[in-house]
């Protein structure tokens, strides 16, 4: 059995002024409960990551930090997206703690699942994934598309945990290895399994959002899904190659058929069908160019090696300006 670990709960926040005053107390209570039970160290902290919020989120975080030492926070210089915010928090925490648990601020993920996560870590697991046991709170469309995405990712060769998002426990040992992954295009739920180490799963039920509005509309979810596919797999390129070979074979057969018909004196009728085929092929080519262009764009961003996040403020050092990533 391992010793009492120092736990940092990493919470990305973007325009969460409505829900943060509610859930912040829940996170602090969980820290105190686990510490009182001897499961974690009293030096554990709740780390908020302000992702360039435009509302009063950062002011709330600084007020919380002033009231209780268990609250700390960092602020990014601008909005960089959920994945970069989580990464910034994990990298900030890895030198200060033994384990981290990343969780959203909205209160939808079951905070009580942390007890089981910590228990599995104490028993030897280095990564513990929070997995939804069911999707009753989702609409049919969201449930169908989300589960289809996980099946598609696995079919494309990406090693991701089914129905797992970004609620997970990661040990410092794993984070130190994960820090060597320097890519700019980040999809954490697919990248963490690549690091390896022993892992476990904890199931939980997801609740309704406690306050405020969701910051993940359909457009953002589709963008995240497409980023995940293109960041973790090159099979779309191979599928394009295979489709090109199939279409070329069909075209070659069509040419042979046209020549045979011409030799027999038959008229090849139907320019309308020809136009349809040409338009279809044009659409296929544009889609293929778009997929290839997406990969080229990602290569372009990777070669520039720009910082993935810039930390502009810390609650314990407000005037310190440093960046990582």
Q: From residue 108, how far is each of 96, 206, 209, 222 by CA, in Å?
A: 27, 5, 5, 21
How much is the pLDDT for 140? 66
Give the pairing type, strands 311-314 and 71-76: antiparallel
Whether residue 185 contacts residue 301, with contact meaning beta carbons closer than 8 Å, is answered with yes
Say yes or no: 32 and 115 in one domain.
Answer: yes
Q: pLDDT (tens digit, 9 = 90+) per residue, 37-90? A: 888 888 889 999 998 888 888 889 988 988 888 899 888 888 888 888 888 889
Map tokens 């998002």 to a residue. 165
Whether residue 94 contacts residue 81, with contact meaning beta carbons closer than 8 Å, is answered with no
**For residue 216, is pLDDT > 90?**
no
Give the pairing type, strands 164-171 and 7-13: unpaired
Q: Containing domain of residue 296, as a range?
A: 235-304
**For residue 266, is pLDDT > 70?**
no
What interhelical angle do 140-155 and 218-232 show, nearest 10? 10
Say yes or no: 77 and 105 in one domain.
Answer: yes
Count structural domains, the chain: 2
Element holding 236 (H helix, E strand): helix 235-263
- Note whether residue 289 is domain-resident: yes
Whether residue 129 contacts residue 168, with contact meaning beta carbons closer than 8 Å, is answered with yes
Whether residue 132 contacts residue 173, with contact meaning beta carbons closer than 8 Å, is answered with no
Say yes or no: 169 and 292 in one domain.
Answer: no
Whether residue 123 contacts residue 46, with contact meaning beta carbons closer than 8 Å, is answered with no
Q: pLDDT (tens digit, 9 = 90+) per residue, 131-167? A: 887 766 666 666 667 667 677 766 666 677 777 778 8
Say yes or no: 72 and 214 in one domain.
Answer: yes
Question: How many angstroms separate the CA atoms of 98 and 74, rounded?
Answer: 19
CA 142, 143, 144, 150 torsion-angle sign = positive
**pTM surpassing 0.85?**
no
Model confidence at 311, in pLDDT bands (50, 70, 90)? confident
Map tokens 């085929």 to a residue. 277
- Note whether residue 43 is domain-resident: yes
Percent of the chain at pLDDT > 70 equals: 72
């Amino acid at each position: 059995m391992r010793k009492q670990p120092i736990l940092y709960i990493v919470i990305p926040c973007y325009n969460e002024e409505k829900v943060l005053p509610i859930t912040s107390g829940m996170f602090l209570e969980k820290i105190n409960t686990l510490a009182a039970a001897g499961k974690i160290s009293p030096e554990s902290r709740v780390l908020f990551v302000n992702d360039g919020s435009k509302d009063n989120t950062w002011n709330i975080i600084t007020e919380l930090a002033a009231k209780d030492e268990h609250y700390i926070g960092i602020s990014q210089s601008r909005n960089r997206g959920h994945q970069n915010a989580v990464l910034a928090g994990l990298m900030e925490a890895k030198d200060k703690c033994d384990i981290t648990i990343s969780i959203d601020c909205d209160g939808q993920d079951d905070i009580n699942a942390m007890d089981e996560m910590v228990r599995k870590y104490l028993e030897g697991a280095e990564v513990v994934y929070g997995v939804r046991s069911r999707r009753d709170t989702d609409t049919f469309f969201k449930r169908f598309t989300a589960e289809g995405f996980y099946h598609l990712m696995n079919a494309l060769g990406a090693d991701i945990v089914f129905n797992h998002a970004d609620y997970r426990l990661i040990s410092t040992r794993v984070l130190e290895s994960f820090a060597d992954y320097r890519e700019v295009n980040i999809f954490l739920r697919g990248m963490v399994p690549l690091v390896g180490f022993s892992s476990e799963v904890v199931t939980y039920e997801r609740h309704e959002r406690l306050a405020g509005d969701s910051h993940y509309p359909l457009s953002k979810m589709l963008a995240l899904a497409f980023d995940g596919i293109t960041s973790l797999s090159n099979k779309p390129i191979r599928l394009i190659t295979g489709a090109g070979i199939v279409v070329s074979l069909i075209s070659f057969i069509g040419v042979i058929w046209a020549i045979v018909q011409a030799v027999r004196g038959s008229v090849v009728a139907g320019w309308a069908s020809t136009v349809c085929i040409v338009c279809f092929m044009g659409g296929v080519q544009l889609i293929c160019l778009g997929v290839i262009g997406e990969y080229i764009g990602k290569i372009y961003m990777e070669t520039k090696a720009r910082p993935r996040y810039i930390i502009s403020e810390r609650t314990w050092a407000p005037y310190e300006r440093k960046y990582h990533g």
